[in-house]
Amino acid sequence: MWSAEPSRSVDGHGALPWIEPRKTRIGLVAGGLGAYWPQFPELLPQLQASARRVSERFAALDCEVVDVGFISDAQEGAAAAEKLRVADCDLIVGFLTTYMTASMLVPVAQRSGAPVLLLNLQPTEAMDHATFDTGAWLAYCGACPLPEMANAFERCGIDFRSVSGYLEDERAWTRIDRWIRAAGVRAALRHGRHGLLGHLYPGMMDVVTDPTLVSAQLGGHVEILEIDDLRVRVEQVTDAETDARMKLARAIFTLDDSVKDEDFRWGATVSVALDRLVEDFSLDSLAYYHCGLDGETHERVAAGMILGASLLTARGVPAAGEYELRTSLAMLVMDKLGAGGSFTELQALNFTDNVVEMGHDGPAHLAISARKPLLRGLGVYHGKRGWGVSVEFDVRQGPVTLCGLGQRRDGSFKLIASEGTVVPGPLLRIGNTTSRVDFGCDPGEWTDAWSASGVAHHWALGTGHRAADLAAVAELLKLDLTVVAP
């Protein structure tokens, strides 16, 4: 099976490297009640060893870990709180190794401003009751303070979540990893710079979004860009740079016979310019659309973006056409969850095979393709001006999740998701990313429920069943999540 290798490079040879994102920063503080240490001399070293093991597991999750050590009283908790406040963490993790008072962790949670995860991970699955004394039992007593923390956090207005298990409990670590990935999504939005280039596709009332609402609800910054910001960079691309991009594209894509060399060359030139645009404005995502007229330069620039936008999407900078800011953000969410995330809309319903057919022309996430993607030449972009090359592939068969960022009447955002399965069968060959998704119900009933959810007519499609991950993301972002499962 063909697959991009986004963790290394799009083409697998390093010619178009993955754009390294900011690592998720985890603040870790472990603790226990200092009154125990003189009473049970072997207890503290055992708990500190457990804390080191947790720190090692976090580091293995490709996170930046800010470990402020082990605290034993409220004074040490206050000192740890100050260190973590300065560190600007994306998630604060409090490891309850044994009983500890709430006064030791409340300041940490209050001052950091970051979401809080409490861990109760005892050393092994169960105590050895026949041999354990009080000191040995206390190493398994992390569950004891958890209700105390919950009550104190509630009364102090602090949101938190918890995971209980044992140190090498993979079920617990699956849940922990989910919160870390959700924190990474929150951080990507909070620190992100989101490009909005061109203008709204006329009449798409579901698409238009006040950019200030993005900063207000999700954080980050929306950078308003002109088509001329890209045009100027297109004019600066050299023939050698275009040749190199065409060579790279031939390695990544299969070129259909319909591709005209001049259109391919133009798409490669615009691709190089898009890379510069992203670099110059430090963009983490991009939504774009420009109409143009009668083959003039601006129309040609906008029509040549599909190749470059797909390469950017595959490298970790999601790009969506039709000025779809909310969908480019949904694509970013799915990408940060490791699911890909391709620009998608409904195509048709197949009541014979009981599937919903969906896809889109324009940018696609190459990492979720079932095989080496195809470049197809199109003399017409349906509903848009211009012509050129478009990306075509079928999505990898297996579980998938749709993710949309809906917007209510009052302007508030919500996440909308639905899980299904991509199944084999006939697909259109029209320069689109396409898939046949079985949602386990009548396709008409699913379509009605999906439409009623408040999702716009575009969304992100990613691999894997991600509703549980999106529930964690929604909690950290303080958004509602609607899961459509009729």
pLDDT of residue 292: 87
Q: What is the pLDDT of residue 385?
A: 61
Q: Of residues 385 and 181, which shows the higher confidence score?
A: 181
Residue 78 scores a pLDDT above 50 = yes
Query: Is residue 80's pLDDT more than 90?
Result: yes
- Fold adopted by 192-483: L-fucose Isomerase; Chain A, domain 3 (3.20.14)
| pLDDT of 431 | 75
Residue 452: what pLDDT? Answer: 97
- Return the higher-pLDDT residue of 292 and 411: 411
pLDDT tens across 110-148, in order? Answer: 999 899 999 999 999 999 999 999 999 999 999 999 999
Residue in the structure block whose two tokens are 């894509």:
253
Nearest to 149 by CA among 119, 179, 174, 182: 119
What amino acid is encoded at 429 in this protein? R
Output the pLDDT for position 6: 39
Q: What is the pLDDT of residues 33-54, one digit of tens each?
A: 999 999 999 999 999 999 999 9
Q: Please determine, for residue 1, whether its predicted confidence score (pLDDT) is greater than 90.
A: no
> Can you tell me the mean pLDDT for 149-157?
97
What band does 481 get if pLDDT is binned at 50, 70 and 90?
very high
- 280-322 confidence digits (pLDDT tens): 999 999 999 999 888 899 999 999 999 999 999 999 999 999 9
Tell me the pLDDT band of 13, cut-offs 50, 70 and 90. Answer: very low
Interatomic CA distance for residues 353 and 334, integer angstroms: 28
φ and ψ of 14, to 5 deg: 85, 0
pLDDT at 461 exceeding the cut of 70: yes
**How much is the pLDDT for 432?**
79
Cα separation, 214 vs 66, whole angstroms: 29
The reply to whether 192-483 shares the fold of 25-185 is no
- pLDDT exceeds cutoff 60 at 471: yes
Say what the pLDDT of residue 248 is: 95
The topology (CATH level 3) of 25-185 is: Rossmann fold (3.40.50)
Q: Is the pLDDT of residue 203 over 90?
A: yes
Query: What pLDDT does 131 receive?
Result: 96
The whole-number pLDDT of residue 5 equals 40
- Other residues' Cβ atoms within 10 Å of the Cβ of residue 335: 28
Using an 8 Å Cβ cutoff, are 225 and 319 in contact? no
Specify the higher pLDDT residue, 262 or 387.
262
Tell me what pLDDT residue 10 has: 54
Lowest-confidence segment of 16-25, 339-348, 406-415 by average pLDDT: 16-25
- Strands 355-360 and 433-438 come out as antiparallel
d(CA 250, CA 385): 26
The CA distance from 57 to 63, in Å, is: 10
The answer to whether the pTM exceeds 0.85 is yes
Question: pLDDT at residue 4 above 60?
Answer: no
Identify the CA nearest to 369 among candidates 400, 347, 326: 400
Alpha-carbon span 134 to 160, nearest angstrom? 30
Instruction: Please report the pLDDT score of residue 294 as a whole number.
Output: 84
Q: Where are the domains of the chain?
A: 25-185, 192-483
Q: Out of 265-279, 286-300, 410-424, 439-453, pick the least confident.
A: 286-300
pLDDT value at residue 258: 93
First CA to last CA distance, the chain: 32
The stretch 457-475 carries a mean pLDDT of 97
